[in-house]
Structure 1
Amino acid sequence: MQFINYFLIISLGLLGTAGQAQAGSASPEAEVLGFVEWVVLEEAGVRLKARLDTGAKTSSLHAVNIEAFTRDGQEWVRFQVPLGDHEDQPSEGTVAHEDVVLTFERPVYRTVLIKRKGAPSQRRHVVKMRFCIAGHSHETQFSLTDRGKFAYPVLLGRRFLRDDSILVSSEDSFLARQACDYKTLEQLAETSAS
């Protein structure tokens, strides 16, 4: 009996120490962002709405016409981001969102099998991309999938949130204190045409 009490006291003491370590492990530089924020894909300068989702591990990006190909013996993927599916890009009114489709080519970082509730599993390509959020540049893994029917073309998952010490406010959106530079729809149309 005395041994059991001693064991419980030691165990509870260790749990208390672990709890203090976890509570104190939050970085003092961690930034609090809303559950929805603007992101800018740096390669193109396109601004998109992103949902910060602690329920997803890997981030995902709206992409259509996804084609795998080989370049220098390495697997690559070509995909398009149609701006007409999510009309978030600032415009001067001279170009329609439907008229701008951005094409990207990236090396395949890995391939994942996504299990979906009520639907068949889906194999997705994952690429690394640089983007800006809250005035800071980051790189993370994005699985490519058609998010045209979803409200947000970008979903930022736990891998990004954890690696970059981001805390998410579940009741607020657009809390970022700094903005990222982006192009207008007209500038993107010129770039995609050349």
Structure 2
Amino acid sequence: MLKRLAIPLVIASLSACVASPDTAHKASPLHANTTSEQSINEKSFTQLNKRLTLIEQNIVEQIESKCQIKNSSDENAQLSNLLTAQANVKHAPVKKTQPQSAKVVEKIVVEQCNQEQPLIVGAVEHVSFIKEQLSFDARIDTGAATSSIGVYELTPFERDGADWVRFKLENTKVAIGFEYPVIGKVQIKQQSSKKSVTRLEIKIGVVLGDKQYRHQVFNLADRSHLDYQIMIGRSFLENNALVDVSKQFLLGKK
């Protein structure tokens, strides 16, 4: 949950430090003969208020668009410089109505947005592929460095000078073939053999639980001899999920 502390604090600071031009004008009977000086001061107040409004809007825009602000040192510096400059203006009403402590400029504090909590998954979970609209039970394997998809009729080919691959996710004659650009190759050492095999890698979108994860890297393999066609490895889990290996289908079984 986003906590926005900047705006109330700025407003609170300004209410103690800055008088509006209208208030300053009404509180200046002893300086009626300094019309030009008062005009300059009122103009300074107007400019100050405009600058503070821009700073406030900038903070809000950063929060809403990025939801992650590490600090607000630039805004703090701008606000501090503006208020310090204004405090040096010889404006009688400000001096008369403000206690000495009001000259202290409080910093703008923007609390960093809370990071989205990772999923808690079991040793086996149900996953779906976004584009393909197909679902499978997947093995969640923290011992595997990468994630893997078991495919059928794997066919590499070239398109416009780039490497592509065509494959099926179902082992039937009427199964639909899918095509993806190859983003790389990875060497996988199989447990049953000391030899390494080369696998093609693609980026594909998956759904785990109620969340979508687009552009996830999977290598393509023959997993027909294994219990699970899909394996989710550390490359996916590191940023997205925590694993409770003692349980299965913590996200629900469809």
Check whether TM > 0.5.
Answer: yes
User: Equivalent residues in 2 for 1:1-194 (5 A)?
Assistant: 29-83=117-171, 98=172, 100-119=174-193, 120-139=195-214, 140-164=216-240, 166-176=241-251
* CA displacement, residues 111-161 of structure 1 (integer Å, 9 cap, x when unaligned): 112122342321110111001010111131111001111111100010110
Number of residue-to-residue matches in the alignment: 138
Higher Rg of the two aligned structures: 2
Aligned identity (percent) is 33
Whole-angstrom CA distance in 2 between matches of 1:73 and 1:117: 35
Aligned counterpart, 2:37: none
Deviation string 1:166-187 (CA, Å, 9 cap, x unpaired) is 01111110101597xxxxxxxx
**C-alpha deviations, 1:10-62, integer Å up to 9, x for none?**
xxxxxxxxxxxxxxxxx671221111011011111111011111001110001
Unaligned stretches of 5+ in structure 2?
A: 1-114
- Higher relative contact order at CA 8 Å, sep ≥6: structure 1 or structure 2? 1
User: Any gaps of 5 or more consecutive residues in structure 1?
Assistant: 1-26, 84-97, 180-194
Relative to total residues, which structure has the larger strand share, 1 or 2? 1
CA–CA distance in 2 between the matches of 1:33 and 1:57?
A: 17
Q: How far apart in 2 are the matches of 1:28 and 1:66?
A: 37
Deviation at 1:73, TM superposition (A): 1.5
In 2, the alpha carbon distance for the partners of 1:75 and 1:99 equals: 25
Distance 2:191 2:125 in 1: 26
Shift >3 Å, 4+ stretches: none
Partner of 2:176, secondary structure, is strand
Tell me the C-alpha RMSD between the 2 structures: 1.9
Amino acid aligned to 2:226 = F
Change (3 A) 1:36 1:105: same
Closer, same or farther in 2 for the Cα pair 1:127/1:28, shift >3 Å? closer
TM-score by length of 2: 0.51
Query: In the alignment, residue 68 of structure 1 is paired with which amino acid?
Result: P
